[in-house]
Structure 1
């Protein structure tokens, strides 16, 4: 039918805002959602206080627009803690590992990481936490660990970055519809907090009306 290419990062607040919209996409019969993890935090990063304050302000805006929950364990614990590390690589590797074991649960793994980070304030850059999350959504820990260690995550991130450059995409999240050999940017920012309206707008597009 069609493919939606979703350019994301598990530690991107605006991707968390877009989660209900992506969840709606996953309800469309025959639609493939292809995930492209982009590596927002390329290296393990400790944030200085001004950067943490800026993220807190952005998170407040995200919550206001999207209705997404930011828990006190994140806002008052994880985010202000100077020991907290932001690093996209392990979180993207976890999504890819889940996808390699069961393609239908890649988005579930992404959602589990987002909830653990933004609501529960868990340190999702740690391998043990990611393995625990995988087990919580039904994967065997040994199978997940083996897949997690084998995933060529750096090549995936490089490929995503190259594709974003070719498509002229400036950041995350980005949604690109591929239909009959053509690519179209799916506008989504105006639908934060309104997934039903987003779905209604999609149904008016030729790719979803057929």
Structure 2
């Protein structure tokens, strides 16, 4: 995969400066950057280093996708195969939530699991290594060498039997992109603050990305 050039970080920093300046002179100044809080890794309240987790068991959210071109695959056979409603939920969030951002989203029907051009997000349906209190988990299996936050390939695993909704798919995809819960944002918010869009915890079935998450994604990518 193409590695990050750092341009996104410079753009993000410029956006944050512009946002702070606009807030200082008041609302109604025509601000493009309208995020309520910075909730894309890394933040002042979430500085952990991205690491490889072989099975999704540790629950740490310390990574973000390594570039703006995001490919994804939904398991189509075996233990973690997504059924039709699950696939529809993923397509819904990719089409309605993430494709309208500055990310370039595409489905990879012939996924790659190793090397320099891995498929970015692999979706699974199942409960392996999910805690009793969790409906889904996102983890990295290929942290980018030399980067404190980038991941080349991430997995999303969500329980079946109706748990695979647009809202939860949006939430776990957000973690793969790099979005965080409210407590990890800067300034920190309640995890239930509606400004977090689908990154609220818990998330309702039809909740979309929301403007705060969109603006944070666009500021980086």
Q: Is the TM-score greater than 0.5? A: no
More helix by share: 1
